[in-house]
Chain A
Amino acid sequence: MGERIKLTASDGFSLNAYRAVPEGKVRGGVVLIQEVWGLNHWIRDVADRFARHGYLTVAPAMFDRVEYGYESDDYTPAQFQVIGELMKKFSHETAPLDIDAAIKAAAEGGKVGITGYCFGGRQTWVTAARGAGLSAASGYYGGGVPNYIDLEPQVPTEMHFGDKDTGIPLEQVEALKAKHPTADIYTYDGVHGFCNSDRPENFNEAACKKASARTLEFFHKHLG
C-alpha cells in the first residue's frame, strides 16, 4: 500500500522513510517510530494499517545515520549484537531532526500524532515532551522508563505497556503513572512486544486490538 520515500532533515541529512496514504478521506497525519529492527515488514504493515484508518502515515528510518538502510525481519538473538552496535552509535541529539522531518511530511495530512513501539515508544514519549508541533502521542512499551520519566509531555499522551514485560517492570509503569496523572497509561495482559504480529511468541491479539483501538480513538479525538 505504501511507498519508500526520502526525507531531508533540517541539517541536510537524507533518510529513508515509508509513507502510507489513505485511499479515501484523510483524517490527519501519523508519525510511526520503529522498533529497533528498522522499517521492516511489520512496521510497514502498521503504517499501512494507520493509512487504512485514514491517517497519512510516515515512518522514518531512525538508524539511517548509523547504518543507512538498516532493517531486519530477523528477531532472533543473532541480531542482538548488530542492534546493540547500532544503538551504541545512535545519537539522541540528531534523532529529533529525523523525527521532525517525518512530522513535517505527515502534516500534509493535517494535525499530526506520533506513535511507536519499544524504541519507538520511548521516542514517542520523548517527542511528546518536546511538543514538536504534534497534537497527540500514543506510545507502546517504550523501554528505559527511568530515563524519561521526568520528561513532561506537552501534548495529550497515552502509553501502553504489557503487564508481563520483563524488560519494563510493572513498578516502572506504576511510577510513570503516578508521576504523570494527566497522561493515560494503560497496561494489558501481555509481554514486551505484545502488538507485533510478526512475533507470534510475543503477540497477544486481544491486547493489541484493545490498545490499537484506544490509539485510534485517541487520534480521532485529537487529530480528527
Chain B
Amino acid sequence: MLVCGLCDAYADRLFGDQDATDDILAFREGLAARSVALAQVFGVVRGELKLVTEAVDVPLAEYGQLSVADFMVSLYNGHTVQRVRMVLADGAHVLAHPVVGEAIGFLSAA
C-alpha cells in the first residue's frame, strides 16, 4: 500500500516538473490512459481496488524458484505461499507486485 501511495505521489511530482498543462487531474488521467498498471495503482490509492494477502498454490515444478522463506511456508501450508494480490474491478485477483513494478517502470520512463 505504501508503494502504491508513493507511485501516486510521484505522478503528482511529474505534474510539477512539466508545464504542458496546469490541470493536474487531466495530467494524471493522461498517465493512467498510457499505463494500465498505473491506472490500477491509482485505483488502489483511491480505494476502488483492494490489496489482499492470500494463499497461492505453488506448483512443485516452481519450487526451485522459491525463496527459502517461501519454501518453508509452502511446506507447512499445503504447498501455498502468501502473496499480495490486487482485486480488480471485474473481480479477478492478480499478483500485486508485478503490477506495481510495471507502474514504477512506467513512471521512471515518463
A interface residue numbers (CB < 8 A to B): 36, 77-78, 80-81, 83-85, 87-88, 118-119, 122, 143-144, 147, 165-168, 192
Contact = CB atoms under 8 A, between A and B. Distances in A.
B75 A87 contact: yes
B76 A122 contact: yes
Contact of A84 (B63, B68, B69, B77): B63
A80 B77 contact: no
B64 A81 contact: yes
A44 B79 CA distance: 28
Interface string B81-102: 0000000000000000000000
Interface string B45-83: 000000000000010110111111111111111010000
Nearest to A86: B75
Interface of A is mostly: helix
Interface of B: 58, 60-61, 63-77, 79
Contacts of A143: 72-73, 75-76
Contacts of B79: 84, 87-88
Given A81-B61, A84-B63, A167 B69 contact: yes
A77 B58 CA distance: 14
Contact of B76 (A77, A147, A166): A147
B64 A80 contact: yes
B78 to A, nearest CB: 9
A13 B108 CA distance: 61
B64 A77 contact: yes
Given A166-B69, A192-B68, A81 B63 contact: yes
A147 B60 contact: no
B6 to A, nearest CB: 23
Given A167-B68, A167-B69, A192-B69, A81 B60 contact: yes
Given A80-B63, A80-B66, 13 more contacts: A77-B64, A77-B65, A83-B63, A83-B71, A84-B58, A84-B60, A84-B63, A84-B75, A84-B79, A122-B76, A147-B77, A192-B69, A192-B72
Among B66, B69, B70, B77, max chain A CB count under 10 A is at B69
24 contacts: A77-B63, A77-B65, A78-B64, A81-B60, A84-B58, A84-B60, A84-B74, A87-B75, A88-B79, A118-B72, A119-B75, A122-B76, A143-B72, A143-B75, A144-B73, A144-B75, A165-B69, A166-B67, A166-B68, A166-B69, A167-B71, A167-B72, A168-B72, A192-B68
